[in-house]
């Protein structure tokens, strides 16, 4: 079976990253392209070098489609025209949401590339029956309307911003999917548990807490737990903190005396 080349393309404002067949064309990372999607023609940006793939092979639930062409001047003008309508789309939708008293916060709106559909993204703390709202909007815009409820992490990914590290948010720069992040990851890394220190601009635990979790977990596998009494070269003491990457623990020997002890040396002396 003949191999084909596949590149990853980031689509639209939501930042979905999906594989597309190149059809023998060559694309550099950053090239704006028009692709075939389940919604018709869409635009996107190539975000990976080409890779070899067998026809029909895909880890996605939907088949791999193909890139139609590199975006030409007419395409670029259409993209800009569609983006310029975003504020107007939101204004109309917000008015209808207010009239119907729906408990939803509009985040973003966008035309599909071919202007055959408008998608509205919103957040809500509960399920929203927006069927009548869809009818209202369809009668105004005379195109297909789709409303999609998203989470607060998706909202941050869509709106963008800077993280506490001073760099662009991971979710809009390279993350394809949101992995589960737990408070235990912060505890293993001995980080402050203050919400302001470990939460992202979305209000949820920062995705980067998971990046080094496995490394910390492996390094601290044989560490004594905080609060445990252990023997050290300086006498018995109670563990008050651990530094897995350094391979040490800080021990309270009493009377205000603190000592940093190597876990490896402690194990060898047992």
**Is residue 79 domain-resident?**
no
pLDDT tens across 216-256, in order? 888 888 788 888 888 888 888 898 888 888 888 889 988 88
Region class of 206: left (phi > 0), else alpha (psi between -120 and 50), else beta: beta
Instruction: Choose among 223, 165, 213: nearest CA to 189.
Output: 213
The answer to whether residues 148 and 116 touch, using CB atoms and an 8 Å cutoff, is: no
Whether residue 77 is contained in a domain is answered as no
pLDDT score of 1: 46
pTM above 0.75, yes or no: no
With respect to residue 126, please indicate whether it lies within any of the assigned structural domains: yes
Do 160 and 145 sit in the same domain of this protein? no
Residue 110: domain span: 85-150
Whole-number Å distance between alpha carbons of 26 and 35 = 14
Q: Is residue 34 part of a domain?
A: yes
Q: For the purposes of burial, counting CB atoms within 10 Å of the CB of 9, is it exposed (0-12), middle (13-18) or buried (19 or more)?
A: buried
Number of Cβ atoms within 10 Å of the Cβ of 110: 20
Overall domain count for the chain: 4
Residue 78 lies in a domain: no
pLDDT of residue 13: 57
Q: How do residues 148-202 score in pLDDT, each as one tens digit?
A: 999 999 888 888 888 888 888 988 877 777 889 999 999 888 888 899 899 998 9
Domain final position from 150, 180, 196 = 150
Q: Is 31 a member of any domain?
A: yes
């Amino acid at each position: 079976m003949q191999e084909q080349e596949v590149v990853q393309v980031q689509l639209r404002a939501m930042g979905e990253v999906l594989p597309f067949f190149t059809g023998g064309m060559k694309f550099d990372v950053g090239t704006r392209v028009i692709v075939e999607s389940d919604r018709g023609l869409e635009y996107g940006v190539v975000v990976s070098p080409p890779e070899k793939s067998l026809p029909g092979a895909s880890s996605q639930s939907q088949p791999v489609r193909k890139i139609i062409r590199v975006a030409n001047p007419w395409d670029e003008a259409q993209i800009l025209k569609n983006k310029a309508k975003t504020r107007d789309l939101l204004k109309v939708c917000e008015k209808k949401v207010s009239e119907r008293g729906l408990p939803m916060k509009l985040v973003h709106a966008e035309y599909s590339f071919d202007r055959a559909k408008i998608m509205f993204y919103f957040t809500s703390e509960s399920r929203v029956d927006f069927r009548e709202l869809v009818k209202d909007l369809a009668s105004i815009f005379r195109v297909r309307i789709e409303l999609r409820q998203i989470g607060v992490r998706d909202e941050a990914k869509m709106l963008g911003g800077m993280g506490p590290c001073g760099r662009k948010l991971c979710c809009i720069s390279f993350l394809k999917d949101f992995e589960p992040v737990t408070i235990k990851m912060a505890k293993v890394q001995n980080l402050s548990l203050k919400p302001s220190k470990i939460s992202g601009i979305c209000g949820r635990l920062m995705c980067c807490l998971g990046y080094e979790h496995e490394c910390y977990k492996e390094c601290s596998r044989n560490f004594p737990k905080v609060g445990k009494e252990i023997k050290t070269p300086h006498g018995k003491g109670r563990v008050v903190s651990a530094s897995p990457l350094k391979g040490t623990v800080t021990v309270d020997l009493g009377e205000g005396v603190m000592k940093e002890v190597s876990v490896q040396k402690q194990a060898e002396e047992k």
